[in-house]
Structure 1
Amino acid sequence: MGQTARVSAVVWIAAGSLLAWLWLLLCQGFFWRTDVRLPPRGEPDVWPSVCVVVPARDEAPLLPASLPSLLRQDYPGRAEVFLVDDGSSDGTGDLARELARRHGGLPLTVGSPGEPPAGWTGKLWAVRHGIGLARARDPEYLLLTDADIAHAPDSLRELVAAARAGGFDIVSQMARLRVESIWERFVVPAFVYFFAQLYPFRRIGGEGTRTAAAAGGCVLLRTEAAERARIPDAIRHAVIDDVALARAVKRSGGRVWLGLADRVDSVRPYPRLHDLWRMVSRSAYAQLRHSPLLLAGTVVGLALVYLVPPAALVAGLAAGNTAAAVAGGAAWLVMAGTYVPMVRYYRQPLWLAPLLPFTAFLYLLMTVDSAVRHYRGRGAAWKGRTYARPDAVPDEG
């Protein structure tokens, strides 16, 4: 009787996982599709002015591969670049000036805001300083981009054209991350896949939807919308600042679009598992709002959705339980099938798709580690700074 109950439990759990995958496949905004690219656009009659704001902290190794791509933008309107040196110790600001002298192109201003006050993350304090410098030029749009992002020469032109044609206050592209090392192959495509599962791109751009997100490496923001939403002051303590920015703009009545990029690339390498682990774990628990209950639910959810299918297939085959094996195998097949488009987008071999449960297990461990680091006082740490949880920050408003 006990063995029969155990067999029945395995079948029910496997069936629950399969139902979860069928729901994700059909009802979660078709998150798995990778055809959400810049919307249709035509050239405006008058090209608006744009200021590009680049927060940078200890980015000297990457600037030669990224900053010249901004300076060389083929933009018909008035545009200039503001790089904000956020307390770098490696000569980031001086290198930026040298690159501007060497490459020419758009005008470059290098500023430095000093250390952020209590309640501000370093990046958003740098963005605030950059926007303040740009305000003197009275730009219609701001392009917020990171120091590790390389843009094709027509990137700015395409972003502005899409924003004007669609009436969007934010047009953001998820930069194509670097995928060269074996660990990057396992972790990076899954990172974007999981992000799209949480924030389906089609829902973000839809009329009347509440889903909002952006990709911090490439955000074209209408200046009027930024002022209306009090950006960045309203989100000054946000560790996941891109999602917070999009939510603030959408709450204030703005329209947001997010999609995958074709010609906007991150040049930052993550050669070791340790590097990728740190990237994920520094903000994973912040994504869960530092809630132990949400953490427990996430662990159970990841296990049910990603780990149960292969486990049920193996257990069912070993025990001769056909129902468990079929349910587990079907769930695993749907899972791998939804991952194939992202694997192809990253130009990776298809054998990575059925290995998604292994990668999901890594993410589960990273998420738990993020919570452990938080309670040890080492959470949300990046480049020498550790940030308090939002509810521990005094309200300056």
Structure 2
Amino acid sequence: MSAVAWIAVGSLIVWVWLLLGQGFFWRTDQRLPARRDPARWPSVAVVVPARDEAEVLPMSLPSLLAQDYPGDAEVYLVDDCSGDGTGELARALSERCGGLPLTVVTPGEPEPGWTGKLWALRHGMALARQRKPEFLLLTDADIAHEPDSLRELVAAAGTEGADGFDLVSQMARLRVTSTWERLVVPAFVYFFGQLYPFRRINGGESRTAAAAGGCVLLRAGAAERARIPESIRQAVIDDVSLARAVRRSGGRIWLGLADRVDSVRPYPRLADLWHMVARSAYAQLRHSPILLAGTVLGLGLVYVAPPATLCAGLLTGDATAAVAGGAAWAVMAGTYMPMLGYYRQSLWLAPLLPFTAVLYLLMTVDSAVQHHRGLGAAWKGRTYARPEAAPEP
């Protein structure tokens, strides 16, 4: 066989393995586990880190204040040195909307060794712990919850012990409105699931651990055992680090897709999405040039090779390359269709996944370039020049 044919066959073998051997990552059926109302609803503290969130807060905070929860619950919004009046707006929304009690606190700039979000969570959780809540709901300021969201999360966590979960996390449904959002956002969740197959996480037998930082229900006792957030204070990819810390301490975790939890943050331009991915992509590779090179080669073989070898085979008359490349592309598109369906997007976008993968490849390379320029992970006016990657188990 020709070299092109060997590449096409290799890519097809990889895709058959991904289809069957990577925890069925492409399926979208991991939703909240079967729930049963507890005999007594435990107390919950909702902690919301917020930095310059005045644009999205009117769409998210009222949904938290309006939670229909039978037990005791209150909201702590941590105004992380915002310059747009986030704290004042939060108080005004609470007065206007009513609902759950709201406390707004401003901790000041983070100490050395802390990322901004985890510094904010530290102060919000410390304040909440004075009331001795049984659960902590850690949710981002751009996440809107349906009125029964908290009730469903707590019921899904179950009772403490072998039958319950110490961490229940939902991957909020991201906004998909603009052309670039349609191309990039479903693929973001698809790639995340490929790295961290939800079924493996939820099975409890694998070392794989991850969470979605926008919506994490955490048992208070598990947070103390795992020393959250102190043990992960430098993590840029804080949600994965949090889940790993909980699992290392013996906790049970669950992660799935959300039906009634949505992100309201817009990413209308490619530049917005580029920054969202690039600010932490190199941290995911533990800032390793070797892992970066392997990722570039791997993405090329897995996503670029199928359409490239198909076209090359058709142009040169290499039937093996054309058939194997076309088959690999078909398997790739087929595994992407469930995620497009979850996001209510046209299935005709599935064959464009190689183009989106190239964008992610370029974002990852740019993340590495920014890191080696000393810019590191930048977010809302803060730059972490040498951020820590998510700690290994």
Same fold per superposition (TM over 0.5) = yes
Structure 1 residue 8: Cα displacement: 1.2
User: 371-380 or 182-191, which moves further after superposition?
Assistant: 371-380
Deviation at 1:378, TM superposition (A): 1.5
- Whether the aligned pair in 2 keeps the contact of 1:15 and 1:327 (CA below 8 Å) is yes
Residue 389 of structure 1 and its aligned partner are, at CA, apart by 2.7
* Residue identity matched to 1:358: F
- Equivalent position amino acid for 1:163 in 2: A
Tell me, what secondary structure is at the counterpart of 1:157? helix
The correspondence for 2:104, drawn from 89, 104, 110, is 110
Q: Residue 79 of structure 1 corresponds to which residue in structure 2? A: 73
- 1:204 equivalenced with 2:204 (yes/no): no
- Segments of 5+ residues of structure 2 without an aligned counterpart are none
Which of residues 130, 135, 149 in structure 2 aligns to 1:141? 135
Equivalent residue for 2:365? 368
Q: Using the alignment, how far apart are the partners of 1:97 and 1:79 within structure 2?
A: 17
One-letter identity of the residue aligned with 2:263: S
Residue 3 of structure 1 is matched in structure 2 by none
Instruction: Calculate the TM-score normalised by the size of structure 1.
Output: 0.96
Partner of 2:46: 52
Structure 2 residue 151 is matched with structure 1 residue 154 = no
- Residue deviations 1:198-241, cap 9 Å, x none? 00000001122211000000000000000000000000000000
* Cα distance in structure 2, aligned partners of 1:25 and 1:68: 41
Quote the residue 1:22 is aligned against.
16
Equivalences for 1:332-351 in 2 at 5 Å? 332-351=329-348
Q: Counterpart of 1:83 in 2: which secondary structure?
A: strand
Q: Using a 3 Å threshold, how does the CA distance of structure 1 residues 330 and 220 change in structure 2: closer, same or farther?
A: same
Could you tell me which amino acid in structure 1 is paired with residue 98 of structure 2? Answer: G
CA–CA separation in structure 2 for the residues paired with 1:342 and 1:391:
31
Contact 1:290 1:389 in 2 (8 A): no
Matches within 5 A, 1:198-277: 198-277=195-274
Give, in angstroms, the shift of residue 391 of structure 1.
6.0
Would the aligned equivalents of 1:175 and 1:264 in 2 still touch at CA under 8 Å?
yes
Residue 97 in structure 1 maps to residue 94 in structure 2: no
- Rounded Cα–Cα distance in structure 2 between residues aligned with 1:119 and 1:299: 30
Q: Secondary structure at the match of 1:87?
A: coil
Letter in 2 for 1:216: G
Counterparts of 1:140 and 1:391, CA distance in 2:
30
Instruction: Tell me how far apart the structure 1 counterparts of residues 102 and 145 of structure 2 sit (CA, whole Å).
Output: 16
Separation (CA, whole Å) in 2 of partners of 1:213 and 1:389: 22
- The more displaced of 383-392 and 49-58 is 383-392
Distance 1:390 1:332 in 2: 36
The equivalent of 1:122 in structure 2 is 116
Alignment partner for residue 157 of structure 2, among 147, 155, 163?
163
Q: Secondary structure at the match of 2:104?
A: strand
Distance 2:339 2:199 in 1: 15
* Secondary structure of 2:2's aligned partner: helix
Q: Distance in 1 between matches of 2:360 and 2:387?
A: 23
- Are residue 67 (structure 1) and residue 57 (structure 2) matched? no
Number of matched pairs: 386
Cα distance in 2 for partners of 1:19, 1:251 equals: 34
| Conservation of the 8 A alpha-carbon contact between 1:22 and 1:334 | yes
Match of 1:278 in 2: 275
Unaligned runs of 5+ in 1: 1-6, 393-397
- Aligned counterparts of 1:290 and 1:63: Cα–Cα separation in 2: 34
- Runs ≥4 in structure 1, deviation > 3 angstroms? none
Report the CA distance between 1:318 and its aligned residue. Answer: 0.2
Residue identity opposite 2:190 in structure 1: Y
Query: 1:377 offset after TM fit, Å?
Result: 1.4
Give the TM-score normalised by structure 2.
Answer: 0.97
State the alpha-carbon separation in 1 of the partners of residues 358 and 388 from structure 2: 30
Indicate the residue corresponding to 1:395 in structure 2. Answer: none
Distance 2:29 2:192 in 1: 15
* Change over 3 Å in CA distance of 1:114–1:292 after alignment to 2: same
Q: Please give the alpha-carbon distance, in whole angstroms, between the structure 1 residues aligned to 2:208 and 2:72.
A: 33
Residues 118-141 of structure 1 show CA distances to partners (whole Å, capped at 9, x for unaligned) of: 100000000000001101110000
- In the alignment, residue 103 of structure 1 is paired with which amino acid? C
Opposite residue 90 of structure 1, the aligned amino acid is D
Offset from partner CA, 1:282-325 (integer Å, 9 cap, x none): 00000000000000000000000000000000000000000000
Q: In 1, distance between residues paired with 2:278 and 2:56?
A: 22
Match for residue 181 of structure 2? Answer: 184
Aligned partner of 1:10 among 4, 9, 24:
4
CA distance, structure 2, for counterparts of residue 309 and residue 345 of structure 1? 25
Question: Aligned AA for 2:7?
Answer: I
Deviation, 1:379, is 2.0
1:302 and 2:299 are equivalent in the alignment: yes
Residue 390 of structure 1 and its aligned partner are, at CA, apart by: 4.5
Distance 2:84 2:189 in 1: 30
SS in 2 for 1:45: coil
Q: Structure 1 residues 352, 375: closer, same or farther in 2, change over 3 A?
A: same
Identity, % of aligned pairs?
Answer: 78
Shift of 1:164: 1.0
1:36 aligned partner? 30
SS of residue in 1 equivalent to 2:216 = strand
Structure 1 SS opposite 2:83: coil
Paired letter, 1:119? G
